Structure 1
């Protein structure tokens, strides 16, 4: 079966990007403050496809991400580092392996670890996937911007009970980097308004490198890692693995021996003017160890493994995984 992704979408911000994603909190004298959610999930990109395709064509849309790359080499994009890699000074100094006999994660030298420290947010090059040695930190910085109400007759702040402050977290990416998504349909190269605050970005659509298509078409095997945020389960509940629901009985589909993960991340989007149900995604970098190898490619996984809200969440790249060397 051919790989689902034929195109690489490189998005270069022409200024700031929003990181709020509609999540709000209150703190002190700031009445509304957006929480950080970055980079944007794939439903954000689907809005650009709605400008260029009709409804029947959009039924076939398939996306994955988010990733990032250096603007001078977008094909060598960066994906989230698996959580079983031990990192120091952005170098991979060890790899944790699941020991089926002791039921513990252990280092390559055989030292068992019962409590695993959380890995820093980092990324590895897709070209270095088979032998990664170096990782990269997030290529962006976040800083707050406060908005407040002005007096109607003066260019001064209205310091009264109605002077509510709104703190927006904005993102400045390294000028030499861009966001990257994978898709099965092309987009015209152009400038677009992207994200909740409609910031201007430059978009380039490239043919995805053949070797990357071949990598993504591999069977996950016994040990694999997610490279995209993933929501499994039904329309009402989210799980850490695919679940069959029959007569209100929940039955795991995979025979899982171990999972190495971190706290879930928020996943919510607006599509067709409607706000989706708030969900929590299993983070990219999560490692699964199965008792029996998974011998079907991601493209062959049934959409029933994922919730559906207008479209199956597989459309957004949920579950996209790469095998790990055991």
Structure 2
């Protein structure tokens, strides 16, 4: 079970990505931007920090689990932000939600009587973990407990250094780079089964220097992370299902109950490095995706069969693949009663 919050405080600008390609609309490589670093980056940091300690490395290979990324206001890391379920619609003027209607299909709960098309996208994308715990059985969350990512992408001129002296090249010595500016009062947060000693580390694909602290997860949050998934759940991390050549919307293992209803958006790119090698590019079901089951699953994410997760030399469950929490979907019990 997750025991620690790994709290990362970026220093200055952090690079997002060089980008997948350039286009007239995207001259600084934002197309493939990816921030914050995923949980695989944190797992790699654990191994690199214990590179010379074989006994600890063997334990980490067997028992280390990480999950994320999340974020929090500094000094309030225990109430970190997680992605909002797609069933919750928190607009600027109204709060609404997706429900299962009488026909057994996804529908908007509070439809306008004039039959105009309601806004079906949330204006915010993250909520505090405490709001999820406290409002688990309630239909909505409060706007005060929700937010959008606080970081922003910026462009700046990056120097290309001379090989023999600490100065930029006299010709073509500057190039345009994309970076992420994180406010000083914001920390990145990950979940981990193991503690990482506090200190300064190089973190992320560009090895930026960051300050890292580890805190024990509070009992209330720890208990909720172990809650059994019954009729419905929502992901708080990307979920990769299928083989290294095929990506699916849910685990197509014979023992995994096929979801009766799925509420999601288009898949997102997913890729990680293992032992210095770049893994095959995959597509992941995005965080916030909702699964609804005909029959109660009766298992927390920790109890899900290891065989349900992709295993390409390193099980993706160990980097938090598809970490999910229980939610309530209105009218679901009525649907089952009618059946």
The answer on 1:39 being equivalent to 2:41 is no
Deviation sequence 1:149-201 (CA, Å, 0-9, x none): 6999x97874xxxx598543211112111000000011000011111111111
CA distance in 2, matches of 1:215, 1:147: 44
RMSD between aligned alpha carbons? 3.0
Question: Normalising to structure 1: TM-score of the pair?
Answer: 0.86
Secondary structure of 1:139's counterpart equals coil
Give yes or no for contact 1:32–1:166 (8 Å, CA) kept in 2: no
Q: Residues 121-132 of structure 1 correspond to what in structure 2 (within 5 A)?
A: 122-129=125-132, 130-131=134-135, 132=141
Give yes or no for contact 1:226–1:320 (8 Å, CA) kept in 2: yes
Give yes or no for contact 2:28–2:155 (8 Å, CA) kept in 1: no
Q: Relative to structure 2, which stretch is displaced further, 47-56 or 114-123?
A: 114-123
The answer to which structure has the higher strand fraction is 1
Q: CA deviation at 1:104?
A: 2.9
Secondary structure of 1:256's counterpart equals coil
Distance 1:252 1:228, change over 3 A: same
For 2:310, which of 301, 307, 310 is the aligned residue?
307
Q: CA deviation at 1:296?
A: 1.1
CA distance in 2, matches of 1:315, 1:27: 36
Determine the structure 1 residue equivalent to 2:96.
94
Q: Residues 114-263 of structure 1 correspond to what in structure 2 (within 5 A)?
A: 117-120=120-123, 122-129=125-132, 130-131=134-135, 132-134=141-143, 135-147=146-158, 158=171, 166-244=175-253, 253-263=256-266
Q: CA deviation at 1:109?
A: 6.8
Q: CA deviation at 1:125?
A: 0.6
For 1:74, which of 70, 74, 77 is the aligned residue?
77
The answer on 1:293 being equivalent to 2:296 is yes
Q: Relative to structure 2, which stretch is displaced further, 120-129 or 143-152?
A: 143-152
Q: CA deviation at 1:100?
A: 5.3
Unaligned runs of 5+ in 1: 245-250
The answer on 1:9 being equivalent to 2:11 is no
Distance 1:120 1:300, change over 3 A: same
CA distance in 1, matches of 2:76, 2:162: 49
Q: CA deviation at 1:241?
A: 0.3
Question: Normalising to structure 2: TM-score of the pair?
Answer: 0.83
Q: CA deviation at 1:114?
A: 8.7
Give yes or no for contact 1:82–1:285 (8 Å, CA) kept in 2: yes
CA distance in 1, matches of 2:214, 2:262: 35
Deviation sequence 1:82-140 (CA, Å, 0-9, x none): 11111223x87122212252423221579899997343452101011142212111111
Unaligned runs of 5+ in 2: 136-140, 330-339
Q: How many pairs were matched up?
A: 311
Deviation sequence 1:180-229 (CA, Å, 0-9, x none): 00000110000111111111111010001111011111111111100111
Secondary structure of 2:33's counterpart equals coil
Q: CA deviation at 1:145?
A: 2.6
Secondary structure of 1:55's counterpart equals helix
Give yes or no for contact 1:15–1:199 (8 Å, CA) kept in 2: no
CA distance in 1, matches of 2:162, 2:5: 48
Q: Relative to structure 2, which stretch is displaced further, 214-223 or 230-239?
A: 230-239
CA distance in 2, matches of 1:29, 1:321: 36
Distance 1:243 1:252, change over 3 A: farther
CA distance in 2, matches of 1:31, 1:110: 42
